[in-house]
Amino acid sequence: MREESGASEVMTLTEAARYIRVSEKTLGEMARHNRIPCQKVGREWRFLKKALEDWLYSEGEHSKSTELSSSKSLLVSGQSYQQADLFEETGFRDTAFYKNVSSPLHRWVPWIAGFSSSFVEGVLDSVAAPGKRINVLDPFAGVGTTLVEGIKKGHNVTGFEINPYAYLACQVKLGAADYNVRQLEKEMAPFKEFMKQKALGNETPKSQVPPNFKTRSSFFSPAVERKVLFALDYISGINDRQTEDIFRVALGAVMVGFSNYSYEPSLGRRVSAGKEEIEDADVAGILIKKLEAITEDIIYLQEVLSNRSDSPRVSLYEKSFLKSASNLRASSIDCLITSPPYLNNYHYIRNTRPQLYWLGLAESPHDLKSLEYDSFGKYWQTVRSLPAIELKVQSGPLEAALEKVREQNLNKGVYGGPGWANYAATYFNDCADFFKCAGRIMKKGGTAVIVVGNNILQGVEIKSDEIMADISESYGFETVRFHRVRTKRTGSSIINSSVRAGVTKKKIELYETALELVYKG
């Protein structure tokens, strides 16, 4: 029965955890991920008893309904899990990176190629027993979603990432566990004052526009560009390297937002998306707001890790996994969670051109070209003119799909089917190398979860998830299940492109699958 006393209705974290019989740590995690009704007052969480009761009741009813309606299960490391438990509770249902916009650490950097932290959290919870430390690998680490969730759970983590900007963001996040956040806090007020004084005068910034950064129209308006250059002046004068890197990551995270470009869905001019150019912006204020969020998240991470007797091991390589997997000990990985570049023409390197050039991570197109050739699957532009590329693997569905692609639009030269078939062949040859490398370092019985989508080449659907599963079997993996985690994902324009659409006769829905594998050896 509901109590009438208003004071007794409001609970602290400790009181609420005791009331619903979970640990304070678990309840704190649920609160941060908006998985339970609560409100933050200052730096403390508060809970209404009635709201908790209603939540418990609704969760209980949901569980009963799910149990009656679903008998499907997921087999992970010898244990059976109800489908709804993994899909509903852990986030397996949707991998979309936009779900990270309010998640600590993950909200720092928008990343078109990323997946949600709740997805990774769910996989780790299903694979590792409570309190057990495992070795987690992400061969395409991006901005560190898998690795951050891994260390939060107390696991040893290893990642590979060739994009210097993504690597920088990942490195900064992982280094936050041991960072003295006071150093960041003491830099923000001087930075704000520095930017204010520079705005009042006629001084010319010492930093310069990257000479080899070319865009169809001005990336920044003159007023914004001047502020960005002054921000770079200040950042270059920070004495502590870790603090400097945090500033650089923060600037990289927000710079497109006050530029004349946008991600919709790939980097392009604002005017092309029907938006006005940005004539001026509060660069210092926007950057300070990002730094304040980063400060809060660093404190949060250190609180999460504070109760651990020893720190998890962290290894991060700015190298290609396919070329450098030999750095890892054989049979050492318990769980692999990743999302390799997709078989489409999203250009992950070029989408980060602003950050690479403006943060001094690339100086010329040659730097980008080397990254393109090291990228998983290469790029269409790098292989389209080559003679027909032979497959390293035997896969009936893949061979049939490539044969059909090669027949399309023969009159378009390198833009026709043969060029795109070369691209697909290169991509799946890299898949074969990937599974060969992964098989060497996976423990027997280890779990691999790979997020991948289907694609459209020249009007032909390529079911990459099924083909990857087929390829993996040649290297000791066994398919456990295909989890359809998203449909109608970003990128539907691929279907309608005049170059790619070819002879599409019907609407083809784009989807993402979490391909779950177990390594049998």
Q: Give residue-wise pLDDT tens across range 154-165.
A: 999 999 999 999
Instruction: Give pLDDT, residue 116.
Output: 85
Number of other residues whose CB lies within 10 A of the CB of residue 417:
23
CATH topology for the 1-69 domain: Arc Repressor Mutant, subunit A (1.10.10)
Q: What are residue 276's phi and psi, to 5 degrees?
A: -75, 155
pLDDT tens readout for residues 156-213: 999 999 999 999 999 999 999 999 999 999 999 999 999 999 999 899 999 999 999 9
Contacts of 447 (CB under 8 A, 6+ apart): 76, 77, 123, 127, 334, 335, 336, 480, 516, 517, 518, 519
Main-chain phi, psi angles of 372, to 5 degrees: -60, -40
pLDDT in the model for residue 41? 82
Q: Pairing relation of β-strands 44-48 and 39-41?
A: antiparallel
- Over residues 333-386, the pLDDT tens digits come to 999 999 998 886 556 788 899 999 999 999 999 998 888 888 888 877 888 899
Note the pLDDT of residue 441: 97
When mean pLDDT is compared over 257-271, 332-346, 430-444, 451-465, the highest value belongs to 430-444
* pLDDT confidence tier of residue 97, bands split at 50, 70 and 90: low
pLDDT at residue 230 tops 90: yes
Eight-state DSSP code of residue 521 = -
Can you give the pLDDT at residue 395? 84
CA torsion angle 35 175 140 482 (round to 10) = -20
Question: What is the C-alpha to C-alpha distance for residues 492 and 103, in angstroms, rounded to an integer?
Answer: 27
pLDDT of residue 197: 96
> What is the chain's mean pLDDT, rounded?
84
Map residue 382 onto helix, strand or coil. helix
pLDDT in tens, 39-62: 888 778 898 888 888 777 664 444
The per-residue pLDDT for 62 is 42
Give yes or no for residue 75 having a pLDDT over 70. Answer: no
pLDDT of residue 509: 80
Least confident of 19-23, 234-238, 395-399, 487-491: 487-491
Looking at the predicted structure, is the pLDDT value of residue 439 above 90?
Answer: yes
Q: Report the pLDDT value the prediction gives residue 350, as an integer from 0 to 100.
A: 81
Model pLDDT, residue 343: 85
Residues forming beta bridges with residue 135, ordered by sequence position: 156
What's the rounded Cα separation, in Å, for the pair 387 and 391? 13
pLDDT value of residue 99: 67
Share of the chain above pLDDT 90, in %: 57
Task: Locate the domains of the chain by residue range.
Answer: 1-69, 178-304
CA distance 401 to 461: 8
